[in-house]
A and B are shown apart, each in its own frame.
Chain A
Amino acid sequence: MAKYHITAEINGDETEYLCEPEQTLLDVLRDELNYTGTKEGCGSGDCGACTVMMNGRHVCSCLVLGAEANGAKIETVEGMADGDNLHPLQEKFIEHAALQCGICTPGILVASKALLERNPDPTETEVRYWLAGNLCRCTGYDKIIRAVMDAASEMRGN
């Protein structure tokens, strides 16, 4: 079977790749394009470690076929910082020590950014429900929630 020739915009760059029909977007990002910031956790859409933005919505890239991304706009954790300047969420995750092993962090950053783009002033409850699909086995979540709330506050100009 021939490979599929796909063109997608990844972190602002028009990118071409070849993929097998069975390859997921996660496989393509990590194994073909070296965007290894996106992590594989469960591979079944339960843990959120592989979260990326696809056409403005956050999705589990393990449950998207690489071929489905033809013409799509994809954003990964590698696209969050502006050059050497980290995104406010990234800054706050460091400040609040909102990670230990770090495997869940890229997915949580991308999912949190998706939340703050829709809702710049979420309640703690809203943050917790929005991130219910991002599992973290280290932190107990409190530091993550505090970091997201603080980043939201800073991004609102407080």
Chain B
Amino acid sequence: MRYEAPESLDAAIALLNEESGTARVLAGGTDLIVQIRADMVDPDLVVDIKKIDEMRTISEENGGWRVGAAVTGAEMNEHAAFKAAWPGVCEGTDLIGSTQIQSRATIGGNLCNASPAADSVPAMIAAGVTLTIAGPNGRRELAVEDLNQAPGKTALEKAEIVVSFAFPARGAVASDAYLRLTPRTEMDIAVVGVGVSLELDGDGTCRAARVGLGAVAIKALLVDEAAQALIGTKVDAAAIDAMAAATSAAAKPIDDKRGTKEYRIKIAGVLAKRAAGIALERARQN
């Protein structure tokens, strides 16, 4: 194994592109180093991207925010202005592992590890995040929900790197929330995770909404039917119940040791309802 820590994105892409064997991008290492130690992957090349400035910064952009893929959970949650803008994304990210893991784990890594149960991902799907991806053929953009294909599989081509996450501008009366269910309160993997983001008009009518659903399918899902159940309503109890039913209907889980299929389908709707309530309360306070 060769370890490289280039200071530019171009150098990182060149290293990945020139490697004929197995290459891996190293961000916080909280998944990759575990996989290396467990002999699940045996890379010939590891490219540490933490010295690339563009990937380490949080900045305001066009009324929204841009977050580098190598920003850690701790850094995101310590950034007061970003946290105020996207509290649901921050609470999803904050649920990943212990405080030690928070010191290292990055949002880019949480996404690109391609676990269907990754806690930051449903919240980022709900937020409507657009990824900037760089590779040998230049840059491209992709909706966050389109990156992951299956457990451990992304849509990234050889030598492509997720560089940053663009969070869109939105109206003043807007917010988001993320809830997950785990058997324990800390240090566990989601049985179900739901992110809800919504935006209201001045008269309280829901102008825009998005719902992201994790741990109940081959990848985290954007649930458009759930969002449509809220848009155009006053987000009353009937609308929220319809949204919850649509979220349960979208869940396609498996049975495993952390939960049965039936339980996960039911909980998907319960969490969607509660997360929508929290996002609504936060939006009305803005």
**Interface residues in chain A, defined as those with a beta carbon under 8 Å from any beta carbon in chain B:** 1, 4, 21-22, 24, 43-46, 48, 51, 54, 57-60, 62-65, 67-68, 70, 111, 114-115, 129-134
Which residues of B from 22 to 64 have beta carbons under 8 Å from A?
A: 26, 29-30, 33-34, 36-38, 46, 48, 50
B1 at the interface (CB under 8 A from A): yes
Residue numbers in A under 8 Å from B34 (CB-CB): 44-45, 63
Find chain A residues with CB under 8 A from B3 CB: 4, 21, 65, 67-68
Docked complex: B74-103 residues within 8 A CB-CB of A: 74, 97-101, 103
Q: A45-B98, A132-B99 are in contact. List 9 more A-B contacts (CB 8 A).
A: A21-B2, A21-B3, A22-B1, A59-B100, A64-B29, A64-B104, A65-B29, A68-B50, A111-B100
> Considering the chains assembled together, what is the distance between the CA atoms of A59 and B37 in angstroms?
17
Partner of B46, one of A21, A57, A63: A21
Residues of chain B contacted by A131 (CB below 8 angstroms)? 99
Can you give 25 contacting A-B residue pairs, CB < 8 Å? A21-B2, A21-B46, A43-B37, A44-B37, A45-B34, A45-B97, A45-B98, A46-B187, A57-B74, A58-B99, A60-B100, A62-B33, A62-B37, A64-B33, A65-B3, A65-B26, A67-B3, A68-B50, A111-B100, A114-B99, A129-B186, A132-B99, A132-B187, A133-B98, A133-B101
Determine the residue in chain B with the shortest Cβ distance to A128. Answer: B186
Q: Are B187's CB and A63's CB within 8 A?
A: no
CA distance A77 to B36 in the complex (A): 27
Q: Which residues of A contact B38 (CB under 8 A)?
A: 44
Judging by beta carbons under 8 Å apart, are A45 and B100 in contact? yes
Docked pose: A44 CA to B187 CA in angstroms: 13
B33 near A63: Cβ-Cβ < 8 Å: yes
Task: Check B99 against A63 for contact (C-beta < 8 Å).
Answer: no
Kindly state whether residue B5 has any CB partner on chain A within 8 Å.
Answer: yes
- Asked, given contacts A57-B74, A132-B186, whether A51 binds B2 with beta carbons under 8 Å apart, the answer is no
Q: CB distance B46 to A59 under 8 Å? A: no
What 4 A-B pairs come out closest when comparing CB atoms?
A133-B98, A57-B103, A132-B186, A21-B3
One digit per residue, 1 when the CB lies within 8 angstroms of any chain A CB and 0 when it does not, for chain B 139-175 equals: 0000000000000000000000000000000000000
Give Cα A114–Cα B26 distance, bound, in whole angstroms.
25
The answer to whether A133 and B1 touch across the interface, beta carbons within 8 angstroms, is: no
Once the chains bind, are B1 and A51 in contact (CB under 8 Å)?
no
Q: Mark B93-122, 1 if CB is under 8 A from A, else 0.
A: 000011111011000000000000000000
Q: B residues within 8 A CB of A63?
A: 29-30, 33-34, 101, 104
Write the chain B residue with the least CB distance to A118: B78
**Contact B37 A133, beta carbon cutoff 8 Å:** no
Q: Given A24-B33, A63-B30, A68–B48 Cβ distance below 8 Å?
A: yes
Residue with the highest number of chain A CB atoms closer than 10 Å, among B1, B100, B186, B187: B100
A45 contacts which of B1, B101, B186 (Cβ < 8 Å)?
B101
A residues less than 8 Å from B100 (CB atoms): 45, 48, 51, 58-60, 111, 133
Residues of A with C-beta under 8 A to B36: 22
A129 CA to B33 CA in the complex, in Å?
A: 25
Contact with A along B112-138 (1 / 0, CB 8 A): 000000000000000000000000000
| Shortest Cβ gap from B188 to chain A (Å) | 10
Interface string of B1-16 (1 = CB under 8 A from A): 1110100000000000
Note all chain A residues with C-beta closer than 8 A to B2. 1, 21
Max chain B Cβ within 10 angstroms of own Cβ: one of A54, A57, A114: A57
* Chain B positions within 8 Å of A64 at CB level: 29, 33, 104
Note all chain A residues with C-beta closer than 8 A to B37. 24, 43-44, 62
Hey, which chain A residues are within 8 Å of B26, CB to CB?
A: 65, 68
Q: Give the shortest distance, in Å, between A76 (CB) and chain B (any CB).
A: 14
User: A120 to nearest B CB, angstroms?
Assistant: 16
In the complex, residue of chain B having the shortest beta-carbon distance to the beta carbon of A52: B100
Known: A43-B37, A45-B100, A64-B104. Is A133-B30 also a contact (CB below 8 A)? no
A133 touches B99 (CB 8 A): yes
Q: How far is the CB of A22 from chain B (nearest CB, A)?
A: 6
